């Protein structure tokens, strides 16, 4: 039999985790006697609709549907065997912030490649000030007899990688006799450098498509992308020439997403069995406009109800700063003998920055108030209006207000000028 709880400490990604890959792998700790695991991924903590789900035999699951940029995802796992299954573990969450890819295009094209053996260079200034995760490059070369060419890419830190080297060699001593190359190069492409070197079409461009470079671009990883990048094109033989028509770089950097911020998250006090408005004095997110500041409910109060415009909120319910500003968010205590309550929420600002698992605290003021009323001045004549009642109160929380027979409240505990209908009278 399985225990009631599963996988209570998922390994990756954990709560408050930023993810940069569009297809992350979720992992968790194994559960004894589990034969498989059910994984659910959703954009809501109530899991009412699923972004992805799978039953897997191991303690990991590779998401197969690309994530949406700046979206928050919630995920949970339960263990299963032929006899029973556990409950779902407490959900975890992550924020897909992307990998910060930017494309840069060289200017001043075309760059002439002479019909004599020589090396030409083209420099591109990259303004992307981030550590490199990956690099791809695309080039369009107009050149007869492309087997004469080799190309190298040089980073601002002078790290040099060979993109390709005389296509068609050594299969042919003179290389590919075809014309033109229009291709992209990157470590993630499936076509290998060997496939590039052995390709030689009869129609221009003789080589096109996506290929791995001859030397892996992973050597650039961790370097700062900012600065001058250089493409070096060498024509190793005389007679054939041409030009570099276009050249671009796609550089993906390590992206950070600052956490969203709260301007106010203050404790509210509510009298037992009564309610209160959670205004922006108590809860306020940073950013504008207020309608774009979104709060997502992760847990509900245990001893009361949170409502939006009179409708109770459940896990996954959302409200905005505009709702709070308009006085639409309220809490009603259930009358139980409790001293505190709370609810947990996520917050995303107008830039989709995320703040996870914040707690809003509520103090419950116990109703210890008791009161008695004494006739301190009876009326002295029939028809007179000079009766007086004094109220003595104990407990409660000052300041107190007093009302007689559902009349208006007053701060004074003495009601005077009362007629016979409200007080006993004595005959004179």
Question: Is residue 74 predicted with pLDDT exceeding 50?
Answer: yes
**What would the two tokens of residue 278 be?**
């959670």
Confirm if 390 and 366 have CB atoms less than 8 A apart. no
The residue among 184, 6, 162 whose CA lies nearest residue 103 is 184
Q: Which range is least confidently modeled, 27-36, 129-138, 348-357, 366-375?
A: 366-375
**Cα–Cα distance for residue pair 42/219, rounded to 1 Å:** 36
Q: What is the pLDDT of residue 368?
A: 79
Superfamily of domain 17-96: Immunoglobulins (2.60.40.10)
Please state which architecture CATH assigns to domain 262-365. Answer: Sandwich (2.60)
Q: Which residue has the higher pLDDT, 234 or 367?
A: 234
Specify the domain boundaries for CATH 2.60.120.260 within the chain.
101-253
Q: How many CA atoms lie within 13 A of 3 on its CB side?
A: 8
Q: Which range is least confidently modeled, 4-18, 23-37, 141-155, 388-402?
A: 4-18
Question: Is residue 344 predicted with pLDDT exceeding 70?
Answer: yes
Q: Could you tell me the pLDDT band of residue 155, with boundaries at 50, 70 and 90?
A: very high
Confirm if 198 and 171 have CB atoms less than 8 A apart. yes
Confirm if 367 and 394 have CB atoms less than 8 A apart. no
**Cα–Cα distance for residue pair 323/49, rounded to 1 Å:** 25
CA 195, 200, 203, 208 torsion-angle sign? positive
Confirm if 110 and 120 have CB atoms less than 8 A apart. no
pLDDT in tens, 362-394: 999 987 788 899 988 888 887 788 889 999 998
Cα distance from N-terminal residue to C-terminal residue, the chain: 89
Omega prior to 86 cis, within 30 of 0: no
Residue 107 class from Cβ within 10 Å (0-12 exposed, 13-18 middle, 19+ buried)?
exposed
Ramachandran angles phi, psi of 196, nearest 5°: -60, -50
CA 26, chain centre distance (Å): 16
Question: Is residue 7 predicted with pLDDT exceeding 70?
Answer: no
Question: Is residue 9 predicted with pLDDT exceeding 60?
Answer: no
Average pLDDT over residues 155-178: 90
**Cα–Cα distance for residue pair 109/128, rounded to 1 Å:** 22
Average pLDDT over residues 82-106: 88
Specify the domain boundaries for CATH 2.60.40.10 within the chain.
17-96, 262-365
Q: What is the pLDDT of residue 395?
A: 79
Number of Cβ within a 10 Å radius of residue 410: 12
Confirm if 55 and 36 have CB atoms less than 8 A apart. yes
**Cα–Cα distance for residue pair 178/261, rounded to 1 Å:** 59
Among 2.60.120.260, 1.10.645.10, 2.40.50.220, 2.40.30.10, name the CATH number for the domain at 101-253: 2.60.120.260
Q: What is the pLDDT of residue 287?
A: 96
Omega prior to 289 cis, within 30 of 0: yes
Question: Is residue 21 predicted with pLDDT exceeding 50?
Answer: yes
User: What's this model's pTM, rounded to 2 decimal places?
Assistant: 0.61
pLDDT in tens, 246-275: 999 999 887 667 899 999 999 999 999 999
Kindly report the average pLDDT of the chain as a whole number.
90
Look at the block and give the residue holding tokens 């001893």. 303
Which segments within 155-226 are labelled E, that is strand?
160-165, 181-186, 207-211
């Amino acid at each position: 039999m399985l225990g009631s709880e599963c996988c209570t400490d998922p390994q990756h990604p954990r709560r408050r985790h930023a993810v940069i890959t569009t297809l992350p792998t979720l992992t968790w700790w194994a559960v004894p006697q589990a034969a498989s695991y059910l994984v659910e991924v959703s954009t809501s903590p109530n899991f009412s609709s699923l972004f992805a789900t799978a039953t897997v035999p191991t303690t990991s699951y590779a998401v197969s549907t690309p994530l949406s940029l700046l979206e928050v995802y919630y995920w949970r796992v339960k263990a299963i065997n032929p006899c029973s299954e556990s409950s779902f573990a407490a959900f975890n969450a992550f924020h897909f912030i992307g990998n910060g890819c930017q494309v840069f295009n060289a200017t001043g094209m075309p760059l002439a490649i002479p019909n004599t053996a020589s090396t030409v260079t083209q420099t591109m200034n990259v303004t992307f000030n981030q550590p490199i995760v990956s690099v791809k490059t695309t080039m369009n070369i107009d050149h007869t007899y492309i087997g004469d060419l080799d190309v190298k890419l040089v980073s601002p830190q002078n790290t040099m990688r060979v993109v390709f080297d005389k296509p068609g060699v050594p299969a042919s001593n003179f290389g590919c006799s075809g014309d033109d190359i229009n291709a992209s190069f990157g470590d993630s492409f499936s076509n290998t450098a060997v496939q590039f070197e052995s390709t030689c079409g009869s129609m221009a461009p003789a080589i096109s498509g996506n290929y791995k470079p001859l030397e892996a671009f992973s050597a650039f990883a961790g370097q700062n992308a900012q600065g001058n990048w250089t493409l070096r094109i060498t024509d190793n033989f005389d007679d054939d020439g041409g030009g570099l028509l276009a050249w671009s770089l796609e550089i993906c950097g390590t992206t950070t997403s600052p956490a969203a911020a709260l301007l106010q998250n203050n404790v509210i006090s509510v009298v037992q069995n009564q309610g209160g408005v959670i205004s922006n004095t108590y809860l306020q997110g940073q950013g504008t406009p207020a309608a774009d500041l979104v709060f997502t409910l992760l847990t509900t109060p245990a001893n009361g109800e949170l409502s939006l415009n009179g409708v109770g909120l459940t896990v996954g319910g959302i409200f905005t700063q505009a709702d709070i500003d308009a006085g639409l968010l309220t809490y009603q205590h259930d009358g139980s003998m409790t001293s505190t309550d709370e609810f947990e929420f996520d917050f995303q600002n107008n830039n989709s920055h995320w703040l996870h698992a914040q707690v809003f605290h509520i103090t419950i003021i116990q109703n210890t108030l008791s009161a008695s009323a004494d006739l301190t001045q009876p009326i002295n004549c029939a028809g007179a209006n000079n009766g007086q009642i004094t109220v003595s109160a104990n407990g409660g929380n000052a300041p107190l207000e007093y009302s007689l027979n559902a009349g208006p409240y007053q701060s004074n505990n003495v009601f005077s000028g009362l007629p016979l209908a409200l007080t006993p009278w004595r005959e004179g």
